[in-house]
Amino acid sequence: MSKPMEGRIALVTGASRGIGRASAIALAAAGAHVILVARTVGGLEETDDEIRKNGGSATLVPVNLRDFDAIDRLGASIHERWGRLDAFLGNAGVLGQLTPLAHMEPKTFTEVMDVNVIANWRLIRSLDPLLRASDAGRVLFVTSGAARKHTAYWGAYALSKSALEILALTYAVECEPTSIKVNLINPGPMRTLMRRKAMPGEDPESLVKPEEMAFKVVEMLSPSYALNETIINFRK
């Protein structure tokens, strides 16, 4: 079996469930040692159990991405242990509250921006030297079709994903002189907890499972992937 990530070090945020969990398991199966980042220890342990059951390896990092100092420490710890980072999947995100903008609680709006935008900027800031130390650093952020729509009640989430796209694409341009490639992937409707929260009346059986997209994540984080500054729509 081909292992395109053999010997690579990959970091996945939101690795305790959904797209992050499925992608982390797939990256490990492809040969990567995966740094699993999420808030819940139990969820991380379940992902780790699945990885080890399949013969892979992982390092668990329970951290709240709103703890920005912890993000800085994460980069320092990776440097101390491995000296580089080959792949980074920025997957963690929160939906917030689907409500008119004028009715949204400031703390909810702030949380959405902190997790979906600012944490990813802090991760770029912390991980950039490590990605530059790789022979083929690969970065992939998970976006949403909401970023390019103006749908009532989705304001905070849509704004955060739009900002994330600008953040990622700007970083991609800045990385052009290096061996780093930076892209985004839009999963489309997918069977996740966030989707169920947003669309409670939807039949989950009609949706694609995160595991079905994991192969694309592995492909886009592999050293052979040459595209840069692109947004891939998994479900067209």
**Residues carrying an active site annotation:** 157
Cα dist from 208 to 192, 198, 202, 211, 220, whole Å: 9, 16, 13, 8, 19
| 145 secondary structure, DSSP code | G
Q: CA-to-CA distance for 210 and 204, rounded, in angstroms?
A: 12
Q: Tokens for 88, please give them.
A: 């980074």
Q: Map residue 117 onto helix, strand or coil.
A: helix
Q: CA-to-CA distance for 189 and 232, rounded, in angstroms?
A: 14
Strand ranges (DSSP E) for the chain? Answer: 9-13, 33-38, 57-62, 87-90, 138-142, 181-186, 231-233
Place of tokens 């703390």: 107
Q: Which CB contacts under 8 angstroms, 24+ apart, belong to 128-132?
A: 129/75, 129/79, 130/75, 130/78, 130/79, 130/82, 130/83, 130/84, 130/85, 131/84, 131/85, 131/86, 131/88, 131/180, 132/178, 132/179, 132/180
Q: Tokens for 65, please give them.
A: 């991405």
